């Protein structure tokens, strides 16, 4: 899948830093950012930097992946409830012998998402299991 370098660049703030939106009217949080509230329709939304910690809401282990992630299989993807934000989907990295469970604490890390050879590299937030 070929992605535009410019389209990626427009989303740096969201992808690099967990920048989402909050609706000032109904207080709903969104990630990635939105221009109007999907819940109540208000256009009174503001940027909000979410905390980098949360817990696993649900997860699954991927054995058959899109081509660009084949080198990483098997790997975990999860829905993560951010401590002060919405539920977002992301990869859980560096899982060794640990058994994942719902409610497990995770924290955000910054990792390479795609790009090999002559392509531009893309980076973004993924999650790692909290140790202590």
Partner 1 sequence: MKIGIISYGAYIPKYRVTTEEIAGVWGKNAEEIARGLFVSEKSVPGLDEDTITIAHEASRQALDRVAFNPRHVDALFVGSESHPYAVKPSSVTVAKALGVGTDYYTADLEFACKAGSAGMQIVSSFVSSKKARTGLAIGADTAQGKPGDALEYTAAAGGAAFLIGSDDYEHIATIDDYVSYTSDTPDFWRSKHGKYPHHAERFTGKPAYFKHIFGATTYYLEKNNYSPSDFDSVIFHMPNGKFPRTVARALGFTEDQLSDSLVVDFIGNTYSGSSLLGLARVLDSAKPGDRILMTSYGSGSGSDTFSFTVTDAIEKMQTGVTVNDYIEDKIYLSYGEYAKHVGTVN
Smallest distance from partner 1 to CB 43, Å: 26
- Determine if 40 is a binding residue for Zn ion (CB under 5 A): yes
Q: Which does residue 12 bind out of partner 1, Zn ion, none, counting CB within 5 to 8 angstroms by kind?
A: partner 1
Report in angstroms the alpha-carbon separations of 13 from 21, 29, 74: 12, 16, 29
Contact in structure between 37 and 25 (CB atoms under 8 Å): yes
| Residue reference for tokens 């859980």 | 92
Closest CA to 24 of 1, 2, 6, 40: 40
Q: Please tell me the distance from the alpha carbon of residue 126 to that of residue 108, in angstroms, as a whole number.
A: 6
By CB under 8 A, name the binding residues for partner 1: 12, 16-17, 49, 71-72, 93-94, 96-97, 109-113, 121, 123, 126, 131-132
Smallest distance from Zn ion to CB 130, Å: 31
Smallest distance from partner 1 to CB 51, Å: 11
Q: Which residues are at the interface with Zn ion (CB under 5 A)? A: 23, 25-26, 28, 37, 39-40, 42
């Amino acid at each position: 899948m070929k992605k535009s370098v410019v389209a990626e660049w427009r989303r740096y703030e969201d992808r690099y830093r967990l920048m989402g939106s909050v609706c000032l009217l109904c207080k709903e949080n969104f990630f990635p950012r939105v221009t109007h509230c999907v819940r109540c329709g208000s256009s009174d939304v503001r940027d909000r930097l979410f905390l980098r910690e949360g817990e696993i809401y649900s997860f699954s282990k991927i054995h058959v992946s899109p081509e660009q992630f084949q080198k990483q299989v098997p790997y975990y993807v999860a829905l993560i409830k951010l401590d002060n934000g919405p539920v977002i989907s992301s990869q859980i990295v560096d899982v060794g012998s640990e058994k994942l469970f719902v409610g497990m604490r995770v924290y955000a890390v910054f990792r390479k998402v795609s790009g090999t050879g002559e392509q531009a590299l893309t980076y973004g937030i993924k999650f790692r299991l909290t140790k202590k």
